[in-house]
Amino acid sequence: MSQPSAPRRTPGRPPRISREEIIRTARRIVDEEGVAKLTMRRLASEVGSTPMALYHHVRDKEELLVLLLDDYATRTLRRPELPADPRERAVAAATAIHEALAACPWIVEVLTADDLMSTSALWFVEQIVDGLAEAGLSPERAVHGYRAIWYYTAGEIVVRTTAARRRTDDDRATYREQVFAGLDADELPRLAQVADRWAPLTATDTYQDGLRALVHGLLAARPA
Amino acid sequence: MSQPSAPRRTPGRPPRISREEIIRTARRIVDEEGVAKLTMRRLASEVGSTPMALYHHVRDKEELLVLLLDDYATRTLRRPELPADPRERAVAAATAIHEALAACPWIVEVLTADDLMSTSALWFVEQIVDGLAEAGLSPERAVHGYRAIWYYTAGEIVVRTTAARRRTDDDRATYREQVFAGLDADELPRLAQVADRWAPLTATDTYQDGLRALVHGLLAARPA
DNA sequence: ACCTGAACACCGTTCAAGT
DNA sequence: ACCTGAACACCGTTCAAGT
């Protein structure tokens, strides 16, 4: 998908811009100014061309974003040394994916990818499925386990990065504080109990804890 | 937030449109044609007014969407009978939230909400936190447990609804098939093993399984 | 106080034509 | 084969003015 098209025997006009150049430029815009600034028009002018020239190299903006994610994954996902213990291997592989995504918040817009973020991430998926299988799950259950881990991971990224986006304009944060300050302790006693600690509690990074709990639960034999 | 503003002693011109009417109309557009069709201009014309009149009743489009989610939650989240067993109570409350969200896929665009979708959902959050606490977690761990459940739930909704969106234009699906068909069985043996079953495996609804695994893992005493 | 009209500063994409 | 220009059909939001 992201590999440059093989150089053909140029039967027509020589290309002025390449898909690679488009992606490289798009990456720069996103890194420097955020994904919201990436428009076909802006990208075209940055690349020294016209909006319509881009459509000769990518089908539409959606494809461009997927290409960008693929490019990002290929460049940044380095395969780490994984623990021998299968359960720990699954945890480590999921954590590696999570870290790569967390470092790149614009990804949320594209995180729409259903099963896996990119073919470059397949190796990590393999490690998770294999870890779960070696730890005792059937192949089917291992795949379902992987999916649960992916839901949890994608959800953490989406919720956290959009919460961070909200925090910038802080009206909403203070609104939330008001809600928690005015909780009816009779109707919602547990929430009232933790109301004053809600902000720090929810700011804590508990990805690892939740991941370990999930993996633990997936591996525990439970009655269907 | 969503309650109609108290009728003041009209010192100026009488309002022609109300916030309530705006939200009601927005809801109709979203239900009938999807959230993508909800634009300020379209909404204004549907309500028999001008785009700018809307800005007198809502701050911007973002606020409108949050209002819409709040409205949806208030109207559809009915408190179910919950099981007495604390663990089952947490599972049932999470499932209720999940069902409400799953029935309303446009929500993904707004699911950006950080901790909770709406104040109307607070009761459900209470049930989850309380279930976890009564099952043995400290208040802090119960809140963190709730967050893990929320990540998992939000992630499932986001991934599933965007996957469904992709399935309509099926280029991407067939691309994915190609990738799985051409897997190197030496490098990625587990994935190769399940390659031909990947589509049905990932289409299965396993929200409940994953949720139960997660809750199980959260409640299992584990070494830090 | 509430609403209107006109404008600003944009979008993604299609179509027909050029080289 | 690749690129351009002009156009289509939109956006959210601001500003100044009207009633």
> Which DSSP state fits B10?
-
Angle B203-B205-B209 from CA coordinates, rounded to 5°: 135
Is B152's CB within 8 Å of A152's CB?
Answer: yes
CA separation for the pair A157, A105 (Å, rounded): 8
Residues near chain C (nucleic strand), Cβ < 7 A?
A 13, 38-42, 51-52, 55, 60-62; B 10-17, 49-53, 56-57
Tens of pLDDT, residues A210-221: 999 999 999 996
Establish how many alpha carbons lie within 13 A of residue B125's alpha carbon, considering only the half-sphere containing its beta carbon. Answer: 24
Q: Does residue A96 have a pLDDT over 70?
A: yes
Nucleotide nearest to A54 in CA–C1' terms = D3
Task: Please report the pLDDT score of residue A170 as a whole number.
Answer: 56
pLDDT (average), residues A83-96:
97
Q: What is the pTM of this model?
A: 0.90
- Who's near B41: CB < 8 A, 6+ residues apart? B51
Q: Does residue A5 have a pLDDT over 50?
A: no
Task: Please report the pLDDT score of residue A4 as a whole number.
Answer: 40
Is A202's CB within 8 Å of B114's CB?
Answer: yes
Q: B83: buried, middle or exposed (CB in 10 Å: 19+, 13-18, 0-12)?
A: middle
Residues of B (70-109) placing their beta carbon closer than 7 angstroms to any atom of strand D are none
Is A129's CB within 8 Å of B190's CB?
Answer: yes
Tens of pLDDT, residues B41-80: 999 999 999 999 999 999 999 899 989 998 998 999 999 9
pLDDT (average), residues B102-114:
74
User: Considering only residues 112 to 131 of chain B, which have any Cβ-Cβ distance to chain A shorter than 8 Å?
Assistant: 112-115, 119, 122-123, 125-126, 129-130
CA separation for the pair B221, A218 (Å, rounded): 15
Residue A80 binned pLDDT confidence (cut-offs 50, 70, 90): very high
**String of DSSP letters for A23-68:** HHHHHHHHHHH-GGG--HHHHHHHTTS-HHHHTTTSSSHHHHHHHH
* Selection from A125, A154, A137, A124 nearest residue A218 by Cα: A137
Q: Which domains does chain A carry? A: 17-76 (1.10.10.60), 79-220 (1.10.357.10)
Task: Please report the pLDDT score of residue A3 as a whole number.
Answer: 41
Q: Are B152 and A156 in contact (CB under 8 A)?
A: no
- A162 to chain B: which residues are within 8 Å by CB? 111-114
Tens of pLDDT, residues B161-220: 877 776 665 566 667 777 888 889 999 999 999 999 988 998 899 999 999 999 999 999
Count other Cβ atoms within 10 Å, centred on residue A206.
20
